[in-house]
Amino acid sequence: MTRLSRGRFITIEGGEGTGKSTNVDRVRNVLEQRGFDVLTTREPGGTPLAEEIRSVLLEPRDEAVDPIAETMLIFAARAQHVAKVIEPALRVGRWVVCERFTDSTFAYQAGGRGVDADAVAQLADLAHPGVWPDLTLYLDAPPGAAMTRISTRSLDRFERERREFFERVRETYVARARDQSRIVLIDASRDLVSVQREIVRAVERFLSTHANP
């Protein structure tokens, strides 16, 4: 199978309350309107086993979770997700749109928790060798404003972190967006119409040079 027949992998990244789930659906709609076969999925999760790991990771608990243990659980779920869902879909030409991927782990575990970034990179090479997003849309918003959006819902273990944690997460995301051309920074502090207009433009730019002929 040639590279041109392979599907493309698009990820939606961002902190809490930046509209990732809503905009996964928007990207899927844009691609389907262009005639692509699209699979949407999420992380942690995407398979029955990975969803079980997601529940373990997100459930609030009295026991403090060691950052290395947390990181390894995330990559265990990711390895299963890539092997059973993402890679098989890409191989047969489907386009995959995923809420979160390894950029989240660099931001949350390396940036937020202080896990060594080289260790995260090594785990990424082990869990999904050669599988990286072709395009990443990073939804950026100040943590204070973003957390206000989710203040009325029941918060998971990550959402209960202090603001300083989310500031470090954001700093890491912004640095990765600056260093990697596949990451497009979207100002998610604006109204949804403006955010989605910019997302559509970013996807259309990507399609102009990366769509299968």
pLDDT of residue 5: 83
Using pLDDT thresholds of 50, 70 and 90, give the confidence band for residue 130: very high
| For residue 158, pLDDT beyond 90 | no
135-157 pLDDT, tens digit per residue, is: 999 999 998 766 666 656 678 78
Place of tokens 């979160």: 100
Locate 101 and state its tokens: 């991927």
> Interhelix angle for 192-210 vs 20-33, to 10°?
40
Query: pTM of the full predicted structure?
Result: 0.92
Selected residue with higher pLDDT from 32 and 149: 32
Find the largest Cα–Cα distance for the chain. 53
- Give pLDDT tens digits for 166-193: 999 999 999 999 999 999 999 999 999 9
Q: In 3D, which of 85, 201, 82 has the Cα closest to residue 135?
A: 201
- Residue 210's Cβ-count burial label (10 Å; 0-12, 13-18, 19+) is exposed
Work out the mean pLDDT of the chain and round it to a whole number: 92
pLDDT exceeds cutoff 50 at 6? yes
User: Looking at residue 3, what is its pLDDT?
Assistant: 44
User: How high is the pLDDT of residue 162?
Assistant: 85
Closest among 144, 82, 70 to 109, alpha carbons compared: 70
Handedness of CA 144, 120, 41, 132 (dihedral sign): positive
What CA–CA distance (Å, rounded) separates 34 from 200? Answer: 12
Q: Which CATH architecture has domain 3-210?
A: 3-Layer(aba) Sandwich (3.40)
What is the Cβ-side half-sphere exposure of residue 187, based on CA atoms within 13 angstroms? 4
